[in-house]
């Protein structure tokens, strides 16, 4: 008897649809997972939805269980939490996180799922992929006790970084965003907040995650001499201009990139699995619930993505709720 699941596909840029999917029977080293929640990361996923992945980055931007190719048709996503219905005894009935797209049920190797700790609610665990990005960013940045730090861009990634920095002893952390509503997010995470014009300068480190030219320019302005901007934004097919004249060289400023696709070389002894397990452990903190700013049913995804992409629905992580529908 065929098992049919339902999956969200981007049929063409700007247009989504729900498709039926025939599931294979899981092999001995595989699991069948029933989705409980998935998450839409507004930055990357809406860029994919708009068809903004440059051709040169098609291979680098593939999600682990993506089907199809950019710009479409493509099944894309990487924040999924479900329960194992079939598989090895050690995983049967466990709540797990997987880098899987939006789909009601799926079959993957058992090694592709990570058990969610009992201390972490399933609905919060959809944030694991983004918190993992933040962990890798801080491994790259290596902040020190007493550092003066700004996080420019209060989206999902920037807010995750700020949330982790709030745990560092003796640091001054300020979340900087053009949207005054992000002040509530900063308060919930335990960090300061400022509009760009009011941000505190003389920073040892600025983490940039606004994905805007203006945000990156402001990040450079906030640095102390010898300071570093860690660039987490991904601009897709857009070009940006930077003010690299004036005092950029005399102040010996640094811009460096960070990308979750590679484990930071400063933690070369850690695996991808280690990093993801750490991110899930960190999600025991209920303050991170502030990063979930909306919730919808799975069947609403074709109407939801255009509204997220246009900004009509302002969101950090928008959570997708599944009932037993396939």
Structural tokens at position 6: 């339902």
Structural tokens at position 35: 């989705």
Task: Give how far Cα 264 sits from Cα of 21, 42, 57, 142, Å.
Answer: 36, 24, 20, 10
DSSP H helical segments within the chain, as ranges?
42-50, 128-141, 156-165, 182-189, 213-221, 272-282, 301-310
Map out the domains of the chain as residue ranges. 3-119+284-321, 130-265
Q: Domain 130-265: which CATH class?
A: alpha beta
Name the pTM for this structure.
0.90
Name the superfamily (CATH) of residues 3-119+284-321.
Medium-chain alcohol dehydrogenases, catalytic domain (3.90.180.10)
How far apart CA 165 and CA 159 sit, in angstroms, is: 10
Task: Tell me whether the CATH fold assigned to 3-119+284-321 matches the one assigned to 130-265.
Answer: no
Average pLDDT, the chain: 94
Counting every residue, how long is the chain? 326
Q: How confident is the model at residue 154 (pLDDT cuts 50, 70, 90)?
A: very high
According to DSSP, the β-strands at 105-109 and 30-41 are antiparallel
Is residue 326 predicted with pLDDT exceeding 60? Answer: no
According to DSSP, the β-strands at 15-23 and 95-98 are unpaired
pLDDT digits (tens, 9 = 90+) for 12-71: 999 999 999 999 999 999 999 999 999 998 778 988 999 989 888 898 889 999 999 999
């Amino acid at each position: 008897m065929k098992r049919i699941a339902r999956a969200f596909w981007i049929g063409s840029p700007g247009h989504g649809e729900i498709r039926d999917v025939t599931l294979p029977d899981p092999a001995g080293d595989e699991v069948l997972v029933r989705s409980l929640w998935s998450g839409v990361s507004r930055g990357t996923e809406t860029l994919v939805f708009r068809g903004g992945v440059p051709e040169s980055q098609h291979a680098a931007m593939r999600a682990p269980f993506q089907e199809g190719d950019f710009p479409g048709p493509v099944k894309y996503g990487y924040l999924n939490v479900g329960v194992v219905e079939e598989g090895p005894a050690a995983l049967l009935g466990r709540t797990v996180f997987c880098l899987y797209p939006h789909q009601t049920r799926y079959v993957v190797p058992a090694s592709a799922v990570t058990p969610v700790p009992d201390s972490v609610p399933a609905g919060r665990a959809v944030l694991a992929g983004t918190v993992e990005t933040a962990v890798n960013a801080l491994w790259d940045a290596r902040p020190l006790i007493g550092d003066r730090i700004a996080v420019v861009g209060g989206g999902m990634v920037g807010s995750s970084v700020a949330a982790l920095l709030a745990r560092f002893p003796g640091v001054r952390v300020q979340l900087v965003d053009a949207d005054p509503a992000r002040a509530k997010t900063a308060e919930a995470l335990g960090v300061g907040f400022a509009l760009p014009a009011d941000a505190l300068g003389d920073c040892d480190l600025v983490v940039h995650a606004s994905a805007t030219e203006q945000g990156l320019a402001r990040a450079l302005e906030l640095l102390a001499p010898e300071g570093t901007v860690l660039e987490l934004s991904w601009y897709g097919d857009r070009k940006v201009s930077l003010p690299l004249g004036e005092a950029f060289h005399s102040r010996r400023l640094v811009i460096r990139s960070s990308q979750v696709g590679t484990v930071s070389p400063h933690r070369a002894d850690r695996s991808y699995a280690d990093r993801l397990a750490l991110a899930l452990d960190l999600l025991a903190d209920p303050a991170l619930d502030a990063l979930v700013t909306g919730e919808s049913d799975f069947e609403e995804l074709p109407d939801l993505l255009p509204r997220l992409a246009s900004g009509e629905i302002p969101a950090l992580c928008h959570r997708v709720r599944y009932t037993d529908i396939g």
